[in-house]
């Protein structure tokens, strides 16, 4: 049977990069095994709804190039794929559990529960709604049947809680961690169905996964503690449970702990795929896209944070990742995000891209700077500078002199490379270069070299002073190639200007 997996975010804000990795692993697993990946929106908590979050999620995956086969925004035969639109469907399942003795109605108010917790806390204990305490609470186990019926029909608020059998060892088989065993006495009677008529994550995810014929649940490690509940729910419904795989967490680069939005702001890297503008707080969080990462690089980097192909290969296209992916190569321990490694990946991917594919990104930068040029010129410049870019926006810093003449000259470079008489020499060289008709960079190179030799000049001095005149500092690609690209007329202008401005 072909596997069916899902990515099921809750639309409470921008998609965290850890969530992106979870989705990526689901995607790789699905594609590797000829399976189906679906997108389900888990919006059972109406109080946490955030405007625009769902659209953000969809756009993020479009940018990343991870297509879903089924789900919100796509459709499919197991819809609707948004849990709020499935609301009516969950109640009968909750009732079925109560009928079968796997759950019960509970009428305790939030205030009562709070009081219980406070009371326990004052005795340095924690209150847990479980096999030990439930008989002392207000629920359908302790109330007479008629009273329960009365409360239910009179519209009184209630929740449905799962009723764990006492002292039962629950076994969870995890594809990454092996067997995990936990005793039911340690678990609390989780709420399955809320008083607002919505299921909790626990109920909804089991019902939906079953109805949507999910075969493998691949999700973050933070879900491991509730996996026993989920296993029990499948048992209670008499359904076959999917296989579980709990992914290691993505950790912050310094110290320990889960990677959070704050770390990104603090350490200067994005934790979200796309820039996000929070409608409530008004604050903006940076995104990988806006920071100049290539989606392929982000995917490659993310794939390797917690997984490896079993060999030394690090640069892999999405197709290669799919081909190589397997769950048993996923590591157990959390992985720290590394900005240096991310930078390296992005650099490698920029290197791999032909100039024409980079063109739209750089064209945008030029537009912002008010610069126009032909595609041919842009591509020529791109080929000359792309090996010195880590991120797309580095382009201007590394290539601006191809578009605008320098307005100032680096004093340090000047001090080292511009001596008395340099101006005269440049004038001679400039004349020489202008005399080459039509211009030919090899010829130019030979002529200048010959000039240097004949006059017993220092090559480093001459060439670098010319470079400073063109770039403004001692940087940049091979000098004569640069002259060729910039064009002899513009070169002439810049040399004249430098001689005038520097004036030694």
Residues 190 to 249: which contact RNA by CB under 7 A? 191, 194-196, 198, 200-202, 221-226, 248-249
The separation between CA 286 and the C-alpha centre of its own chain, rounded to angstroms, equals 11
CB of 376 to RNA, least distance (A): 22
Of 171, 332, 369, 427, the one binding RNA (CB under 7 A) is 332
> From the centroid of its chain, how far is CA 177?
25
Q: Give whichever of 2 and 408 is closer to RNA, judged by the CB atom.
A: 408
The 274-303 contact track toward RNA, x by CB under 7 A, reads ------------------------------
Q: Report how far residue 403's alpha carbon sits from residue 10's, in angstroms, rounded to the nearest whole number.
A: 46
Q: Omega of the bond prior to 80 within 30 degrees of 0, cis?
A: yes
Size of the site for RNA (CB under 7 A): 82
Q: At its nearest, how many Å lie between RNA and the CB of residue 177?
A: 4
How far is residue 71 CA from its own chain's centroid? Answer: 20
- Within a 13 Å sphere around the CA of 38, how many CA atoms are in the beta-carbon half? 26
By CB under 7 A, is residue 324 in contact with RNA? no
Q: How far is the CB of 395 from RNA (least distance, A)?
A: 13
261 is catalytic: yes
Q: What is the DSSP string of 451-472?
A: HHHHTT--HHHHHHHHHHHHHS
Please list, in sequence order, all residues whose beta carbon lies within 8 angstroms of the beta carbon of residue 375, skipping any fewer than 6 positions away.
356, 359
Distance CA 130, CA 453 (A): 92
Asked if residue 13 binds RNA (CB under 7 A), the reply is: no
Contact residue for RNA among 22, 33, 36, 44 (CB under 7 A): 44
Site for RNA in 354-383 (CB under 7 A): none
Query: Which position among 257, 279, 435, 487 is part of the footprint of RNA (CB under 7 A)?
Result: 257
Q: How many CB atoms lie within 10 A of CB 345?
A: 24
- Cβ 123 vs Cβ 262: under 8 Å: no
Q: Measured between alpha carbons, how far is 368 from 245 in angstroms, rounded to an integer?
A: 46
**Binding residue (CB under 7 A) for RNA from 211, 351, 356, 504:** 351
Tell me the closest approach of the beta carbon of residue 125 to RNA, in angstroms: 8
Query: Restricting to residues 65-94, which ones interact with RNA according to CB under 7 A?
Result: none
Among 110, 411, 421, 435, binds RNA (CB under 7 A): 110
Q: Are 203 and 90 in contact (CB under 8 A)?
A: yes
Per-residue x/- mask for RNA, residues 121 to 160, rule CB under 7 A?
A: -----x-xx---------------------------x-x-
Distance CA 156, CA 147 (A): 11
- Helices then strands (H, E): number in the chain? 20, 14
Residues 384-403 interacting with RNA (rule: CB under 7 A): 387-388
Per CB under 7 A, the segment of 41-49, 93-101, 276-284, 486-494 that binds RNA is: 41-49
Q: Which of 190, 194, 252, 261 is catalytic?
A: 261
- Please state the φ and ψ torsions of residue 199, each to the nearest 5 degrees: -75, 160
Residue 312 binds to RNA (criterion: CB under 7 A): yes
Q: How far apart are CA 488 and CA 466, in angstroms?
A: 13
| Nearer residue to RNA within complex by CB, 286 or 300 | 300
Look at the block and give the residue holding tokens 């930068």: 365
**Closer Cβ to RNA, 118 or 367, answer by number:** 118
Which residues participate in catalysis according to the annotation?
261
């Amino acid at each position: 049977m072909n596997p069916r997996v899902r990515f099921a975010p809750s639309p409470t804000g921008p998609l965290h990069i850890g969530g992106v990795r979870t989705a990526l692993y689901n995607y790789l697993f699905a594609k590797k095994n000829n399976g189906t990946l679906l997108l389900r929106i888990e919006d059972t908590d109406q109080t946490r709804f955030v405007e625009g979050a769902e659209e953000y999620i969809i756009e993020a995956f479009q940018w990343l190039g991870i297509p879903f086969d089924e789900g919100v925004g796509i459709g499919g035969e197991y819809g609707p794929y948004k849990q709020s639109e499935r609301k009516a469907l969950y109640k009968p399942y909750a009732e079925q559990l109560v009928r079968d003795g796997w759950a019960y109605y509970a009428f305790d108010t939030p205030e009562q529960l709070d009081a219980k917790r406070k009371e326990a806390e004052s005795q340095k204990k924690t209150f847990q709604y479980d096999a030990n305490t439930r008989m002392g609470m207000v629920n359908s186990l302790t109330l007479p049947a008629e009273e329960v019926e009365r409360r239910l029909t009179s519209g009184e608020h209630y929740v449905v809680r799962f009723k764990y059998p006492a002292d039962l060892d629950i076994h969870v088989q995890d594809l990454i961690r092996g067997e995990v065993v936990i005793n039911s006495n340690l678990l609390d009677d989780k709420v399955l169905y809320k008083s607002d008529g919505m299921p909790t994550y626990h109920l909804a995810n089991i019902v939906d996964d079953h109805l949507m014929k999910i075969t493998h649940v691949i999700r973050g490690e933070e879900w491991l503690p509730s996996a026993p509940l989920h296993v029990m729910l499948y048992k209670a419904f008499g359904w076959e449970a999917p296989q579980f795989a709990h992914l290691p967490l993505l950790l912050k680069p310094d110290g320990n702990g889960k990677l959070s939005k704050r770390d990104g702001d603090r350490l200067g890297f994005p934790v979200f795929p796309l820039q996000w503008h929070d409608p409530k707080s008004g604050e903006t969080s940076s995104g990988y896209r806006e920071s100049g990462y290539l989606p392929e690089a982000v995917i490659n980097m993310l794939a390797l944070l917690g997984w490896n192909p079993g060999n030394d290969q690090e640069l892999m296209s999405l197709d290669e990742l799919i081909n190589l992916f397997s769950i048993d190569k996923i590591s157990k321990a959390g992985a720290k995000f590394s900005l240096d490694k991310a930078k390296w990946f992005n650099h490698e991917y920029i290197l791999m891209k032909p100039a024409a594919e980079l063109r739209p990104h750089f064209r945008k930068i030029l537009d912002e700077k008010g610069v126009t040029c032909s595609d041919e010129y842009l591509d020529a410049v791109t080929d000359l500078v792309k090996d010195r870019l880590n991120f797309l926006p580095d382009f201007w810093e590394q290539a601006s002199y191809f578009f605008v003449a320098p307005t100032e000259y680096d004093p340090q470079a000047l001090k080292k490379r511009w001596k008395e008489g340099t101006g005269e020499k440049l004038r001679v060289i400039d004349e020489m270069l202008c005399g080459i008709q039509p211009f030919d960079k090899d010829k130019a190179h030979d002529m200048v070299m010959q000039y240097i030799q004949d006059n017993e000049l220092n090559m480093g001095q001459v060439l670098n002073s010319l470079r400073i005149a063109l770039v403004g500092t001692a940087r940049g690609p091979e000098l004569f190639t640069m002259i060729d690209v910039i064009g002899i007329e513009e070169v002439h202008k810049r040399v004249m200007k430098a001689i005038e401005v520097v004036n030694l």
